[in-house]
Chains A and B, each alone.
Chain A
Amino acid sequence: MTRYEAVHADPDGDATVARLALTASEYGYDGIVVRNHGDASPEYDGDRIGEKYGIDVVEGVEIRADDPGRASGFVGNHRDRRTIVAVHGGTVEMNRFAVEQPAVDVLAHPMVGDGDFNHVLAKAAATNSVHVELSLARVLRADGGERVQALRDLRKLRELLDDADAPFVVSADPQSHLQLRAPRELRAIGAVLGFDADVIETGLAAWGELAERNRERASDAFVEPGVWLDEE
């Protein structure tokens, strides 16, 4: 199974795309998804970086907006230009907006801040094939009460997604090369948290599968799912 990690690069984070790619390839990842917020896009040459460090660099975006109306416009803008379109979750309205949009690939960290999730949203995510992120950021980097809350949220989210059979992605949500963790370490964390053995692997692979699917869709030969133009 391939393993991908979705990162925030400079200017969102403290490391450039190239540095994140270098560290991720040393850690055994097959690819990174650059998911900077829409207002902080980095400039980089993904192909060149990918070739140099032997890793797939996927162009993505994490749309951050105050209300669904504005977010909807951003999704339209970015959909044609980016391989992976994620929505910055964390409020009930934005979470609902994201899972109801088939054009959205990923709902990022739905449980931060005032965000919450329920069985209705999980079902919508499954219907629209919107991958919900199980973010390990606060498990890895917070402590005390905040971390307890993060663990509780993560468990709730996991149970809801499992029940609705909704797709999901897993990420440590690193903001720098120092916040990256190797897949095997994430798997060990998953085991401590009581996740099934393959949850972390499936979640890391899902980023790659999304990228592959969307690249296929963006290619000239694609007509609609199951229909494509043959070369000859």
Chain B
Amino acid sequence: MKHLPKHLQPRWRYLAVRFETWPDATVDRGAFQRELWYAAQNLLGDVGSAAVDLTVVRFDGWDGGGEAIVRVRRGECERARAIVACVDAIGSDPVGLRVAGTSGTVRACEEKYMRGGPERTEQRHVTVGDAERPAVVRDGRLEYRMNDAFTAGTPLDIE
């Protein structure tokens, strides 16, 4: 369809969303988009959901986390924040999210807030309490496996 004249084009804001997961989680863009829509509909209903109009425009996931840019209608940033806060899992993987910042263009958002993944992720054994445990270490944080479940810690926990 023909482009809308400029004054009729919707104005957007872009939210940089950073998220963390457990190391064994696999999260993709489609699943994240779906969760955002569910969360919006559950929190604000169809009307509010349509008004905020959340769309994932960039997505970069890695082991243990990722970041994304979410487009929302201008003036709806605060409600979009509330929706993002209400996403507690992507698929069946628990996820912790925060809005790192907002910008008026995708490019500004990328330059200002997208940091990329950790430089390296390392699998090794760590000593927690009195036992050796397999762990995933990255970026000043680590997750060790205990009875089939992960526990999240930092280097302070294994000194």
Contact = CB atoms under 8 A, between A and B. Distances in A.
B21 A188 contact: no
B45 to A, nearest CB: 11
A101 B26 CA distance: 48
B82 A15 contact: no
A10 B153 CA distance: 9
B127 to A, nearest CB: 14
A16 B96 contact: no
Nearest to A141: B88
B85 A186 contact: yes
B156 A191 contact: no
Contacts, number: 88
Interface stretch (A19-27, A119-127, A221-229): A19-27
A43 to B, nearest CB: 9
A192 B43 contact: yes
Interface in A92-117: none
A19 B152 contact: yes
B94 A176 contact: yes
Interface of A: 10, 14-16, 18-19, 22-23, 27, 48-49, 52, 139-141, 143, 147, 176-182, 184-186, 188-189, 191-192
27 contacts: A10-B153, A14-B150, A15-B152, A18-B154, A19-B153, A19-B154, A22-B154, A48-B156, A139-B86, A140-B85, A140-B88, A143-B42, A147-B42, A177-B152, A178-B20, A178-B152, A181-B85, A181-B96, A182-B85, A184-B81, A185-B84, A185-B99, A186-B85, A188-B85, A189-B86, A191-B78, A192-B44
